[in-house]
Amino acid sequence: MTQKQPAARIRRSPEQVRAAVHQAVIDLLSEPEGEDLTIPAIAQRSGVNHTSLYRRWGSLDALLADTVTTRLERDSPLNDTGSLRGDLTAWAEASARSMHTPEGRALVRAVILSMPSSTQDQTERSQHFLRRMHSIEQIRERATARGEDPPPLEQILDQLIAPFYIRAIFGIGLPATGYPQLLVDRLLGTADRRARA
């Protein structure tokens, strides 16, 4: 197969190709001029022939989803801090750091773009959502194993995850200090009050 892009002349391992393609997706989404994210644009940027992209991923949506899953896993090393509050704060601090980088904001855009459209099959959407929430579910499971009583996933979604997404969408910066703690305090504070009610 003829490769047109110069970068493709260098022989790369499948994992190097995969990493280059993921990076091309993130780069295209980080650009000021907002170049359209298309298979040909990703081929051009990564130096991987577009027929190879279709063969490997099948569609732009699948490629986007693979990029998101891989990056979210790479960016979320979840050490056990010993408490639910500590784990959630560590998650929020990592998210806050990520949001200060163009790559982090591009990743949020990728997550949003990779969601199945709202009228699609509910099962598919739920699976997609749960894959994205994997690290939060780990935190909840560890808390339960410790005998703590973590808030429901949907409450964590509304109070801890949603603020990061909405600020990425609207390009609103995070408060310089204390934001991760503030969100966790609101989340667990509310959880405590509801438990007592």
Which residues make up the interface to a second copy (CB under 8 A)?
30-34, 102, 105-106, 109, 111-112, 115-120, 122, 125-126, 128-129, 132, 154, 157-159, 161-163, 165-172, 175, 183, 186, 189-190, 193
| 88-108-178 Cα angle (round to 5) | 40
- Shortest spacing between CB 126 and a second copy, in angstroms: 8
In whole angstroms, how close is the CB of 81 to a second copy at the nearest point? 23
Query: Which residue, 66 or 158, is less far from a second copy as judged by CB?
Result: 158
Shortest CB 46 distance to a second copy, Å: 20
Helix (H) or strand (E) holding 164: helix 162-170
Nearest CB to a second copy, comparing residues 4 and 194: 194
Distance CA 126, CA 121 (A): 9
Q: Please give the Cα distance from 51 to 33 (Å, whole number).
A: 26
Separation between Cα atoms, residue 94 and residue 185, nearest integer Å? 16
Spatial contact of 49 and 8, defined as CB atoms under 8 Å apart: yes
* Residue number with CB closer to a second copy (84 or 106): 106
- Nearer Cβ to a second copy (84/110): 110
**In the complex, least distance from residue 171 CB atom to a second copy, rounded to whole angstroms:** 4
Q: How far apart are CA 12 and CA 113, in angstroms?
A: 28
